[in-house]
Structure 1
């Protein structure tokens, strides 16, 4: 994903939410509508979230240090996770509390009755422009993925976060308009409480979704299957490598992929030939997958034992073989360590 595209969507959402928050607070002050208060806090939370995403993007650009040799790219994931927490606590839980408070003492909107309707309609228009920008920027990198898959599989968190926030904001505005409109029509403040509760449930669901997806990024995700296919093709397409014994990938940040592989090379190669061949393979990988910026290739002579070692099977196989022959009884003995 283009970082510039994510930044553009964040700035558009931030500008819209700041303007919307001010008008919603004014409408709440004039009418006392709980739906307007819930939406006001929602806009404040969204504005803070966009500020966090911008801060995370800035901090992620710091150079690597001896303490953090792979850089700070994952800091963008951390701030995206904080966004989910803020949306859940400040946005969702506050709205649910306000709904309970309103339901305990429902009252109609007696003054400035036209204000919340005008404010909500205007907010829907402004939020639609922000959502349109997020969709436009996402389409530049989404390819032929469905929206659900894009949100679930995107390695850069900014666009999925803004997309879900803007979508939630639009749906929340519709809920608020429903609650306020029915309160004005019926004179029953319970409709206002119902609209507020709907906003709270919506925000909690979106926050949980964001938390789950961002947690996966924080734990560490590998390359997608299409990227893996390109890497494997790049490694094996030349004469330098006989086969890939095993390979693992990990995203160090949204735009930096680490590739670590043990490769089988001809037994008769000299050190000079081997170094030249590895450089050629690395160049092909970077050409096919530009995000593969950190590459570690370990040359080896292929054997079933080497392949099992890369998949974590070697030790278990050795234990089973030793147990079958009665030569050892514990993993420690197989490894040559004293048993307990």
Structure 2
């Protein structure tokens, strides 16, 4: 997925969440609803997350230097991990805390109509952001299932927004149910319970995002098809007797480092080996622009 499309997804989510956060806090002030206040915190956290991901996108594009010879691509993965921690510590933590307080010390909802209107508008805005993220995610999904595509993705920006928006829409439905039950039964405990449910859902999302971001931060290999293409590019040369090992690692969503151990036929001259490596590297880069660095260890076959 192109970087520009990533930014479209992030800006769409940021704009929606900022507007929604203001509306939810206003509604919480009018109604005294715990679920609405929780949803306001949720939107603030989501807005902060989009800002961090935008910063990570920008920072990851800094050119390589002496200190970071492979570039700064993994900075995006670092900020993605920070986002997961924020969702857990701030979003889930505040939601569960606020819910428990309102269950222990319930207070009635004063005007449910305002809450319903804000929740409805928020659902439409979140839905628009979710559709934008889903449309961009499907570009890279291919024939894989939704969850498998997330596991294979090396670009956290889009699937984080997708997870966040899905959790947000679930939270809006839960908040609406909690407010309705509180208003219908006259028991404000339902409102606090809705906050706890929202918090638990956010904690689950945070755990899933943290696990995916951790794998990217540690370092994941490239797509197996790319690995096989690299192996075949050398193995099909008559001067090559075998390819022992191909190591790939994503240094950024669209940047792959490649190292390979290649066995050459004994009577091949060094100069010819150098030209073969250079030609093969050039053809690989032309076919797969994400390959940024190629290191070959030649061995006598």
Distance 1:285 1:244 in 2: 16
Q: Is structure 2 residue 16 aligned with structure 1 residue 16?
A: yes
Question: Structure with the greater relative contact order (CA < 8 A, sep ≥ 6): 1 or 2?
Answer: 2
CA-based RMSD? 1.1
- Displacement of 1:260 in angstroms is 0.5
Which residue of the partner structure matches residue 140 of structure 1? 139
Match of 2:287 in 1: 288
Cα distance in 2 between the residues matched to 1:240 and 1:283: 17
Determine the C-alpha separation between the residues in 2 that align with 1:13 and 1:186: 35
1:177 aligns with 2:158: no
- Please report how far the alpha carbon of residue 269 of structure 1 lies from its aligned counterpart in structure 2 after TM superposition: 1.9
Residue 35 of structure 1: CA displacement? 0.1
Question: Any gaps of 5 or more consecutive residues in structure 2?
Answer: none
Once residues 153 and 37 of structure 2 are traced to their aligned partners in structure 1, the CA distance between those partners, rounded to angstroms, is: 33
Q: Counterpart in 2 of 1:62?
A: 62
Report the count of equivalent residues. 301
Whole-Å separation in 2 of the counterparts to 1:290 and 1:46: 33
Supply the distance in 1 between the matched residues of 2:184 and 2:223 (Cα, whole angstroms). 52
Residues 223, 156 of structure 1: CA spacing in aligned structure 2 closer, same or farther, 3 A cutoff?
same
CA distance in structure 2 between the partners assigned to 1:46 and 1:123 by the alignment: 13
Q: 1:198-227, CA deviations, whole angstroms, 9 ceiling, x for partnerless residues?
A: 100000000011001100111111122222
Distance apart, 1:289 and its partner CA: 2.6
Alignment correspondent of 1:83: 83
Within 2, Cα distance between the matches of 1:179 and 1:60? 42
Shift of 1:242: 2.2
The equivalent residue for 2:254 is 255
Instruction: After TM superposition, give the deviation of residue 266 of structure 1 in Å.
Output: 1.7
Post-superposition offset of 1:238: 2.8
For the Cα contact (< 8 Å) 1:264–1:300, is it kept in 2? yes
Question: What SS class does the counterpart of residue 109 from structure 1 fall into?
Answer: coil
Q: Name structure 1 gaps, 5 residues minimum.
A: 303-340
- For 1:199 and 1:235, the matched residues in 2 are separated by 53
Q: Which runs of 4+ in 1 moved over 4 A?
A: none
Alignment of 1:301 onto 2:300? yes
The structure that has the greater radius of gyration is: 1
Distance 1:251 1:96 in 2: 36
**Corresponding residue for residue 269 of structure 2:** 270
* Partner SS state of residue 25, structure 2: helix
Do the aligned partners of 1:231 and 1:289 also contact (CA within 8 Å) in 2? no
Using the TM superposition, give the Cα deviation of residue 89 of structure 1 relative to its aligned residue in structure 2, in angstroms.
Answer: 0.9
Deviation readout 1:56-90 (Å, 9 max, x if unpaired): 00111111110111110000000000000111111
Partner of 1:102: 102
Out of 275-284 and 190-199, give the one that drifted further.
275-284
Q: Once the two structures are superposed, what CA deviation does each residue of 1:85-129 show, in whole Å capped at 9, x if it has no partner? A: 11111100100000110001112212x221001100110011000
CA distance in 1, matches of 2:107, 2:29: 15
Instruction: After superposing the two structures, state which structure 1 stretch, 201-210 or 232-241, moved more.
Output: 232-241
Q: Give the TM-score normalised by the residue count of structure 1.
A: 0.86
**Residue of structure 1 in register with 2:194 after alignment:** 195
Residue number in structure 1 paired with 2:185: 186
Q: Secondary structure at the match of 2:298?
A: strand
User: Bigger shift: 234-243 or 269-278?
Assistant: 234-243
1:178 shift after superposition: 0.7
Cα deviations by residue, 1:18-40 (Å, 9 ceiling, x for unpaired): 00000000000111100000000
Q: Quote the offset at 1:298 in angstroms.
A: 1.2
Q: Which moved further from structure 2: 147-156 or 236-245?
A: 236-245
SS of the residue aligned with 2:202?
Answer: helix
Q: Distance in 2 between matches of 1:32 and 1:239?
A: 76
Partners of 1:234 and 1:288 within 8 A in 2 = no
Task: Tell me by how many angstroms 1:172 deviates.
Answer: 0.6
- What is the aligned partner in structure 1 of residue 221 from structure 2? 222
